[in-house]
Amino acid sequence: MKKVQQHYDEIADIYDDRYDGNRGRYYHGHISDHVMSVLPRGGFLLDIGCGTGLFVERYIEEGGRAVGLDISPGMVRHGRQRCPESGFFVGTAEVLPFRDAAFDALASLLAFSYVPDPEAMLRECYRVLKPGGRIAVCTLSRTVFTSLVPVIYQVGEKVGLKKVGVGDFGEHYYTNGEIAGLFREAGFEGVSVSRCSFAHLNLADPVFALARKVEPFVEENLPYLAYNVCAGGKKPEG
């Protein structure tokens, strides 16, 4: 995780540029829509791996309160600038610095794959959620396309490419069954899993435009081709 922290500290100042153009706004908005569909509105949210606070901002805009946690001090600094009324903390997902049953909702967008001990993270998520609270995680999925990504990222790292998420971080790509099993083992009920984001941000412009057009069809009929997997669950009421 030290390597991941260092990478995101280095690119913290340019991170938002990735989501500032039309492609970036569409991609992050599409993922956020999937996560929001699982979570309660108007609650108190913890965003794990919050980055610069993009999803914290989204949750607040929809009537909730939110705090963020990230391993990168640089990202946390930008989150505080984006949402000065919210709390942002430096920390790791496996040991959350919050009391039991503190939150109505938990979210994690594009960070779960980098967590070295996902079981520990989900145990901590379960602990800090209120009974009846909900969790939603969107992360990298294992597909015929993503099997090539680690090799590409390793090459990018060797040539010194400073780009968001590009590096050899040992990230894990999850199948539907794998992530659903982790959620159930942690104690969550009503576990749901779906795939999203066939139109991935890293695609070249003409390809991205085509992928965006067919994305709804792919997600409904060919979900195994989508780049991300989204899982949700609920902490039992009592």
2-234 homologous superfamily = Vaccinia Virus protein VP39 (3.40.50.150)
Compute the average pLDDT of residues 132-157.
Answer: 72
pTM check: above 0.95: no
Q: Percent helix, strand, coil in the chain (nearest 5)?
A: 45, 20, 35
- Residue that wins the pLDDT comparison between 230 and 16: 230
**87 burial via Cβ count (<10 Å: 0-12, 13-18, 19+):** middle
CB 230 within 8 A of CB 136: yes
| Spans of all domains in the chain | 2-234
Instruction: Name every residue whose Cβ is closer than 8 Å to that of residue 33 and which is 6 or more positions away in sequence.
Output: none
- Whether residue 84 is predicted with pLDDT greater than 50 in this model: the reply is yes
Which amino acid type is present at position 40? P
pLDDT surpassing 80 at residue 162? no
Query: What phi, psi does 149 have (nearest 5°)?
Result: -60, -45
| pLDDT given for residue 155 in this prediction | 43
Yes or no: say if 79 and 56 are a contact pair by the CB < 8 Å rule.
Answer: yes
pLDDT band at 2 (very low <50, low <70, confident <90, very high): low
Cβ burial 94-106 (10 Å sphere, 16+ → b, else e): bebeeeeebbbbb
Q: pLDDT of 193-216, one tens digit each?
A: 999 988 887 778 888 889 899 999
